[in-house]
Amino acid sequence: MRLFSPRERPSSWRDQRATTRHAWAVPFIAVEWCWEWLAYFLSNWKFLEVLEYLSSLSILVAVIFYFSESGDRAKQRHYQAWQVINTAQGKGGSGGRLEALQELNSDGVPLVGVDVSGAYLQGIRLAGSKLVRCNFSAADARDGDFQSTDFADADLRAANFRYGNFSKTSFQRAQLDNADLVGTHLSAADFSGATLANADLRDANLSDIQWRGIASIKSANIHGVKNPPDGFVAWALQNGAIDTEPESDLK
């Protein structure tokens, strides 16, 4: 903020004129002398000082309003993100849904019941998200990060989750039939009540998974699974799973 201080009173025109040696310089000196007097009067005008204070105060008020309205701006962003997701529902491609989902999740917004079936979401990052009762059926979410995500009661049928990270994820009662889980990291995942019929689990990391409550694993391919818990492979094969290495991997 500028601090106003009164200026010294300028000399009279007679004294100013007396210091001018050249006649051609008189007009220039006169203009300068007029500006000096104007500056002198303005420096003693308290109204300008008041305006300076008001200008500083207006900046402070603007900052206060900016932070006080941050919640409304966040709500507007969330509304726009949901609009993107809902508008593209049932369509292929991303349609901006990948960015919208990540933004909502980063702001801690639950994604309960979201429908992104058939969407292209490769590389999506939704660690720690709440995706209860969501629909990811036939979605392409390869290389995604779903660590510690809650997929309880979700529809994940025929989804492509290859090489994704699902450590400590909850799949309680989720439908994973025909899902592509090749090379996924599933350590400590909870499959209580989940169905995995025809799922492709080849080369998946199954360390410490909760598997005893799996509802169905019929025809699921468990070839090459890594770190399976004790008893899992024998149980899976007894309940219809297969251990087959395809001649060609066309997925």
Contact 160, 181 (CB under 8 A): no
Query: Taking residues 217-243, what's their average pLDDT?
Result: 97
> Which residue would you say has higher pLDDT here, 150 or 20?
150
- Which residue would you say has higher pLDDT here, 146 or 11? 146
Compute how many other C-beta atoms are within 10 angstroms of the C-beta atom of residue 82: 16
Does position 119 have pLDDT exceeding 80, yes or no? yes
Predicted confidence at residue 250, as pLDDT, reads: 45
Residues 190, 124: Cα–Cα separation, whole Å: 21
pLDDT at 75 (0 to 100): 85
Quote the pTM value: 0.70
| pLDDT bucket at 251, cuts 50 / 70 / 90 | very low
Comparing 26-30, 90-94, 123-127, 154-158, the range with the smallest average pLDDT is: 26-30
What is the full DSSP assignment across the chain?
A: -PPP-PPPPPPPHHHHHHT---GGGHHHHHHHHHHHHHHHHHHT-HHHHHHHHHHHHHHHHHHHHHHHTHHHHHHHHHHHHHHHHHHTTT-SS-TTHHHHHHHHHHTT---TT-B-TT-B-TT-B-TT-B-TT-B-TT-B-TT-B-TT-B-TT-B-TT-B-TT-B-TT-B-TT-B-TT-B-TT-B-TT-B-TT-B-TT-B-TT-B-TT-B-TT-SB-TT-B-TT-BSPPTTHHHHHHHTT-B----SS---
CA angle centred on 184, ends 147 and 221, rounded to 5°: 140
Confidence of residue 4 (pLDDT cuts 50, 70, 90): low
Closest CA to 209 of 234, 233, 228, 184: 228
pLDDT of residue 2: 54
Distance CA 29, CA 17 (A): 8
- CB atoms inside a 10 Å sphere around CB 215: 14
pLDDT tens digits for range 37-73: 676 666 666 555 666 666 666 666 666 655 555 556 7
Q: Would you state the pLDDT for residue 50?
A: 62
CA-based nearest residue to 120, from 103, 97, 101:
97
Return mean pLDDT, the chain: 86
Share of the chain above pLDDT 90, in %: 63
Q: Lowest mean pLDDT: which of 89-103, 110-124, 138-152?
A: 89-103
CA Rg, the chain, in Å?
36
pLDDT at residue 80 tops 80: yes
Q: Find out whether 200 and 219 touch, Cβ atoms under 8 Å.
A: no
Over residues 26-37, mean pLDDT? 71
Kindly tell me the burial class for residue 165, based on how many C-beta atoms sit within 10 Å of its own C-beta (0-12, 13-18, 19 or more): buried
Q: Other C-beta atoms within 10 Å of 184: how many?
A: 27
Q: Is 169:145 a contact under the CB 8 Å cutoff? A: no
> Helix 46-68 and helix 70-87: axis angle, to 10°?
40
pLDDT in tens, 144-199: 999 999 999 999 999 999 999 999 999 999 999 999 999 999 999 999 999 999 99
C-alpha span between 156 and 174 (Å, rounded) = 7
What pLDDT does 64 receive?
Answer: 65
